[in-house]
Amino acid sequence: MLSESFAQGVSLLHRLDPRLRIVFATLFSFLLALSLKFPTLVSGLAMSVILVWISRLPRMEVARRLTVVNIFNIVLFLVLPITFEGTIAFFLGPVACTREGLLLAARITLKSNINTYKTYAYLFGMLLVRALARADRVYQSMLCRGFKGKFYCIHQFSFSRTDRIGSGCLFLTLILLGGMEWLAPTLF
């Protein structure tokens, strides 16, 4: 059995139907992976921080996981602004940091994250194809053993009023982020 510490909790998000959380997380991830405009990406980051805060996840564990994933991006943000020619954005002591260096680091970070998502998508696709083939073999095996087409579940999921309100809020967020990306004029 798989165990994920972030899946356990008593917050408002933890009380939502797991099916709703999976659908929202998938759509949210794809929307941000396909976004190229800074306002959308910054809003998505802000939404992620708000969701972490609402879900009351352990801050140090979240920070540790994010640091491991983005160590290369941290190095980019430390080196590029001071080594790239351009308009000075601010000073860190005697060192000048350029706006163009910051933007380049941000673009590389976004592109590397998009490529990471693409790689995960390809991996997911390959796993899906293999899983479908295996599922068919398992289904044939179950039929041989007298399976009658009914799965018995220990926990019955139901879509409550809280789930309907939560889904409305979460999908409104997706619509706003999508509108910022594809309908709003370019700011950068």
Average pLDDT of the residues in 68-85 = 82
In angstroms, the Cα distances linking 4 to 1, 9, 66 are 10, 11, 16
Cα–Cα dist 181/40, whole Å: 6
Average pLDDT of the residues in 115-142 = 77
Confidence label for 175 from pLDDT (cuts 50, 70 and 90): very high
Output the six-digit token pair for 23: 């659908």
Model's pTM, two decimal places?
Answer: 0.60
DSSP state of 149: S
Q: Is the pLDDT of residue 188 over 50?
A: no
Cβ atoms of residues 109 and 78 within 8 Å? no
Average pLDDT of the residues in 65-75 = 78
Give residue 121's pLDDT.
67
Q: Is the pLDDT of residue 122 over 80?
A: no
Cα–Cα dist 63/43, whole Å: 19
Cα–Cα dist 69/65, whole Å: 6
Least trusted range by pLDDT, from 59-73, 86-100, 110-124, 166-180: 110-124
Angle formed at CA 163 by CA 167 and CA 29, multiple of 5 degrees: 40
Q: Is the pLDDT of residue 62 over 90?
A: no
Q: Is the pLDDT of residue 101 over 60?
A: yes
Helix (H, G, I), strand (E, B) or coil at 90: strand
Which tops the pLDDT comparison, 18 or 114?
A: 18
